[in-house]
Structure 1
Amino acid sequence: MNSSKSDLPSRLLLNLEPWRHAAHWRIAFSGGLDSTVLLHLLATLANAESLPALSAIHIHHGLQATADAWPQHCQSVCDALGVPLQVKRVTVKGGASLERAARDARYAAFSSLTQTNDVLMTGQHRDDQAETLLFRLLRGAGVRGLGGMPQQRPVGQGALVRPLLDVSRAELESYAQAHQLHWIEDPSNQDRQFSRNYLRHQVMPVLTERWPQAQASMARTAVHLREAQGLLDELAQIDLAQAQTVHEFAWLGVPSLELAPLAALSDARQRNALGHWLEALTRLPDADHWSGWIDLRDASSDASPIWRLADGELHRSAGRVWWLSGRWLRTPVIGADWQTPAATLRLADNGRVMFHGQTPSAPLRIAYRQGGEVMQLAERGSRDLKRLLNERAVPGFVRGRLPLLFRGEEILAVANLPGLDGQMDEGWTLHWQPTDEDQGLS
């Protein structure tokens, strides 16, 4: 980010150059110093520059009585600047960390309000970045966490941008005083039971008394660490490219990786690559919980290990690791015969089945493997279904939900498995679509 000593409006405009053609600029307006300065800067710039449409969003958490007056204050500030304001009330769920619960509620609201090609701006500054770095360092964060707050990231259908990360709190205060701005002082910002407030009021003053440039140096360190994380991400993409191989069960639509290329890497590169892949799928485990990956990776070849994570499970089967979540973790139940086989049959928690080609004569039913099933094959006679699935290396998690077509007690077909999926002489095959188009994966 630009760090020149030019005046604040010019620096802000330079930092926002990549987003000059957005559909809408929205400001997360708490009414505090940071967002008040940001709002004033942008409203002033909009009088002289051709900028996207500008509006503000105030999130009302309802956590303290004094906050009830804040929406009106924000409205008066926005009215004076000619900026439309939207007030959004949220419910903060209780939990171990009120700070985190309020943040989660706030960003959920931001996500719901940010549309395609919108930019949502927040007022975090350089001092906030330094506090974030120190806070995460004390919690034992890795390189990604110590990279601090990114200048931009996705939110909702648009982007969240922090254009003041190279500006100090002192600069914002100076600007506010020069323009006679009025802002809200949140009483909770003085409550030192909150970790960030403790760092701000008790720790940072001591550090800056000894090292006046401490906050600037820490913010600069965050930039270096974010660059290092970028290199780790590039390495992860190189390693994942070796593991994202073509396989015959891609039609399942389940994210998976080939195990052997991963296992050939050093432990650190395995964690880096797998963490990069999992980040889009689940909240990542802490350092201690990564032992679950070692257990899954090193389990015996005849085992079916599972690593349970926050938002799903990683399974190992058929030489691959598979990410399962949502409906893939619910046992499917079939409740009725297939009364009208000419039509698609929807399966509870298991997509749908249909015939390609002719429709075999009724009565028919769909069921799932229970164990001990035998299938008659024209060229091979009676064959144990378990052996047939082994021959085709069907992943373990699929076996209990592969739709089996029965007429009476006879298995006529196993959906989607070539050679077992129908009667070619009768001109039909059984097709299974594991998830409906609108279901997707978590």
Structure 2
Amino acid sequence: MSDFTPDRLPTRLAPFASAPRCWIAFSGGLDSTVLLSAAAEVRARLPGELLAVHIDHGLQPGSGDWAAHCAGVCQALSIPIHIERLSPAGPSPGESLEAWAREARYRVFRRLLGPGEILLTAHHQDDQAETLLLALLRGSGVHGLAAMPFSAPLGSGYLVRPLLEWSRGSLAEQARRRGLVWIEDPSNGVTTLDRNYLRQEVLPRLRARWPAVSATLSRSASHVAEAAGLVDRLADAALAEARGARPGSLSVPALEGLDRPLRKAVFRLWLRREGFVVSDARHLDRILDELLPARADANPVVGWPGCEVRRYRREVFALRPLPDPPSSSLRIDWRLGEGVSVLALPSGLGCLEWRPEPEGARMGRDIQVRFGQTSLSCQRSPTAHRRSLKKLFQEAGVPVWLRPYLPMLFLDETLIAIAGVGACLGGTPAPGAAALSWSGHSWERVAPEFGSEIRIRCLDTPP
């Protein structure tokens, strides 16, 4: 492979010629400085508008100066830059700093990318070799050993690594030749971090014996990536047959009809497509050995950071971790008049919207929103028998783990409606009705498979 030059970029990005924007992940280090400089030189031949994004992790005392440096470089090159400063919370106990920083970065990238836009990162051949070695040392499967692909979906757009064919030495030579100035991150010399240890201690020794080690390991990663693609194609066909009745779910009987290796491959592919970090082997074995064979009336869950896999009846769901449910003692007063009324709910559960229909529902008084009142009963219509909420939840297919989050509407002490289930008769019904909507982006994040909006009919009652 010849040395890297800016002229190679347009060819590498030809598959994304229709991208409306081309973002550069710009840390200010050597690699991303070479990429940014090269992109600026050939910007007229790159897809869409050229922009940069810098993530200030706040982990180094001088990180603010680094952000200012990046802003100055972009200004000199006439490239707009977006600078994002992360929360100072840092990793949670037991979470690695590297993993936290990476996830925080990619959270920003996913939010930033618009439909069809591309984000270029400056990962190179040596990074690929390090990634493969780390995957081997962690006992990863074929997808981990495939290391970093040239491109992959990211948010509404794509992550692209155009420099994977070139070594860091080639990029350093390009930087020196062009007189570029970059930031040296002092944490790169901290060998307590796994990747730095490989870079500083292990790979130099391997390279002394096998000079082409980075290129060879990168080639092996490409071979494994081809094998991973074959596994995915097999899993894709099985996944299509294993879909559950609800959007995003899997069917337990269909999964039970697959042999164990294929079942694992289906779960990994499903989790990736649902936007989750794939679990390690231990959690995946728990899903297969504990969650799938659980009793139909059980409430099993297998969770890891960012994901919870749950079962309800004969279906399996992958969800973002649920927030703490609202307290059963919580009382939220809501005044309903003749017009539209919107109430924000706690715990990120979205909002309720009351919209009177043309025939006119004249509530004209306060109602109350509560949660977790599961010992009550409800009569759905004048001809229906009064049923316990547990029975109604079961009939409506509301999983046990979602029931504490359902908003329940009370008029005085009488239950008149349960969002996601329906209306209850509260005394003598009067003419008129209204549509009650329960919606919100937060609810979609918690459980998209149960719908982002549930409309129920609330009969008006006398004042």
Is 1:244 matched with 2:237? no
| Aligned positions of 1:287-306 closer than 5 A | 287-293=281-287, 294-306=289-301
Tell me the CA shift for residue 298 of structure 1.
1.4
Tell me the CA shift for residue 120 of structure 1.
2.7
In the alignment, what sits opposite 2:315?
320
Q: Give 1 or 2 for the bigger CA radius of gyration.
A: 1
User: What CA distance in whole angstroms lies between the structure 1 residues aligned with 2:441 and 2:81?
Assistant: 38
User: What CA distance in whole angstroms lies between the structure 2 residues aligned with 1:140 and 1:325?
Assistant: 26
Give the secondary-structure state (helix, strand or coil) at the position aligned to 2:440. coil
User: What CA distance in whole angstroms lies between the structure 2 residues aligned with 1:418 and 1:119?
Assistant: 44
In the alignment, what sits opposite 1:203?
202
The amino acid of 2:50's aligned partner reads L
User: What CA distance in whole angstroms lies between the structure 2 residues aligned with 1:10 and 1:217?
Assistant: 25
Alpha-carbon deviations, 1:56-79, whole Å to 9, x = none? 444455544666665565566556
Q: CA RMSD in A?
A: 4.4
Deviates more, 1:51-60 or 1:270-279: 51-60
Tell me the CA shift for residue 82 of structure 1.
5.0
What residue ranges of structure 1 are gaps of 5+ in the alignment?
Answer: none
In the alignment, what sits opposite 2:458?
none
In the alignment, what sits opposite 1:146?
145
Does the CA-based 8 Å contact 2:3-2:170 persist in structure 1? no
Alignment counterpart, residue 335 of structure 1, candidates 323, 331, 337: 331
In the alignment, what sits opposite 1:131?
130
The amino acid of 1:22's aligned partner reads A
Deviates more, 1:228-237 or 1:213-222: 228-237
The amino acid of 1:319's aligned partner reads R
Does the CA-based 8 Å contact 1:413-1:430 persist in structure 2? no
Does the CA-based 8 Å contact 2:416-2:423 persist in structure 1? no
Is 1:14 matched with 2:15? no
Deviates more, 1:303-312 or 1:72-81: 72-81
User: What CA distance in whole angstroms lies between the structure 1 residues aligned with 2:419 and 2:108?
Assistant: 43
Give the secondary-structure state (helix, strand or coil) at the position aligned to 2:444. coil
With over 3 angstroms needed to count, the CA separation of the structure-2 counterparts of 1:86 and 1:288, relative to structure 1, is closer
Identity percentage of aligned residues: 35
Does the CA-based 8 Å contact 2:206-2:213 persist in structure 1? yes
Tell me the CA shift for residue 242 of structure 1.
2.3
Tell me the CA shift for residue 122 of structure 1.
1.9
Is 1:269 matched with 2:265? no
User: What CA distance in whole angstroms lies between the structure 1 residues aligned with 2:76 and 2:398?
Assistant: 66
Alpha-carbon deviations, 1:2-36, whole Å to 9, x = none? xx658633432211112334333333333433223
The amino acid of 1:284's aligned partner reads V
Deviates more, 1:409-418 or 1:154-163: 409-418
In the alignment, what sits opposite 1:226?
225
Does the CA-based 8 Å contact 1:421-1:429 persist in structure 2? no
In the alignment, what sits opposite 1:396?
400
With structure 2 as the length reference, what TM-score do the two structures score? 0.73
User: What CA distance in whole angstroms lies between the structure 2 residues aligned with 1:183 and 1:389?
Assistant: 60
Give the secondary-structure state (helix, strand or coil) at the position aligned to 2:229. helix
With over 3 angstroms needed to count, the CA separation of the structure-2 counterparts of 1:288 and 1:88, relative to structure 1, is closer
Does the CA-based 8 Å contact 1:414-1:421 persist in structure 2? no
Tell me the CA shift for residue 125 of structure 1.
0.6
Deviates more, 1:10-19 or 1:412-421: 412-421
Give the secondary-structure state (helix, strand or coil) at the position aligned to 1:396. coil
Does the CA-based 8 Å contact 1:416-1:431 persist in structure 2? no
Is 1:33 matched with 2:30? yes
| Aligned positions of 1:53-68 closer than 5 A | 53-61=49-57, 63-64=59-60
Is 1:370 matched with 2:374? yes
The amino acid of 1:242's aligned partner reads E
Tell me the CA shift for residue 129 of structure 1.
0.6
The amino acid of 2:34's aligned partner reads V
Give the secondary-structure state (helix, strand or coil) at the position aligned to 1:307. strand
Does the CA-based 8 Å contact 2:379-2:424 persist in structure 1? no
Tell me the CA shift for residue 316 of structure 1.
2.4
Tell me the CA shift for residue 228 of structure 1.
2.9
Give the secondary-structure state (helix, strand or coil) at the position aligned to 1:26. strand
Give the secondary-structure state (helix, strand or coil) at the position aligned to 1:303. coil
Give the secondary-structure state (helix, strand or coil) at the position aligned to 1:153. strand
Does the CA-based 8 Å contact 2:245-2:251 persist in structure 1? no
Does the CA-based 8 Å contact 1:362-1:407 persist in structure 2? no
With over 3 angstroms needed to count, the CA separation of the structure-2 counterparts of 1:427 and 1:28, relative to structure 1, is same
User: What CA distance in whole angstroms lies between the structure 2 residues aligned with 1:316 and 1:62?
Assistant: 39
With over 3 angstroms needed to count, the CA separation of the structure-2 counterparts of 1:244 and 1:332, relative to structure 1, is farther
User: What CA distance in whole angstroms lies between the structure 2 residues aligned with 1:283 and 1:231?
Assistant: 20
The amino acid of 2:286's aligned partner reads G
With over 3 angstroms needed to count, the CA separation of the structure-2 counterparts of 1:434 and 1:145, relative to structure 1, is farther
User: What CA distance in whole angstroms lies between the structure 1 residues aligned with 2:97 and 2:67?
Assistant: 21
Alpha-carbon deviations, 1:357-411, whole Å to 9, x = none? 8859999877665337475986676666655655666543455566777788887
User: What CA distance in whole angstroms lies between the structure 2 residues aligned with 1:86 and 1:328?
Assistant: 31
With over 3 angstroms needed to count, the CA separation of the structure-2 counterparts of 1:430 and 1:395, relative to structure 1, is farther
With over 3 angstroms needed to count, the CA separation of the structure-2 counterparts of 1:72 and 1:310, relative to structure 1, is closer
The amino acid of 2:137's aligned partner reads L
In the alignment, what sits opposite 1:284?
278
User: What CA distance in whole angstroms lies between the structure 2 residues aligned with 1:13 and 1:275?
Assistant: 34
With over 3 angstroms needed to count, the CA separation of the structure-2 counterparts of 1:359 and 1:205, relative to structure 1, is same
In the alignment, what sits opposite 1:311?
306
What residue ranges of structure 2 are gaps of 5+ in the alignment?
Answer: 447-463
Deviates more, 1:353-362 or 1:296-305: 353-362
User: What CA distance in whole angstroms lies between the structure 2 residues aligned with 1:340 and 1:128?
Assistant: 60
User: What CA distance in whole angstroms lies between the structure 2 residues aligned with 1:91 and 1:366?
Assistant: 33
Does the CA-based 8 Å contact 1:38-1:123 persist in structure 2? yes
The amino acid of 1:175's aligned partner reads Q
Does the CA-based 8 Å contact 1:307-1:314 persist in structure 2? yes
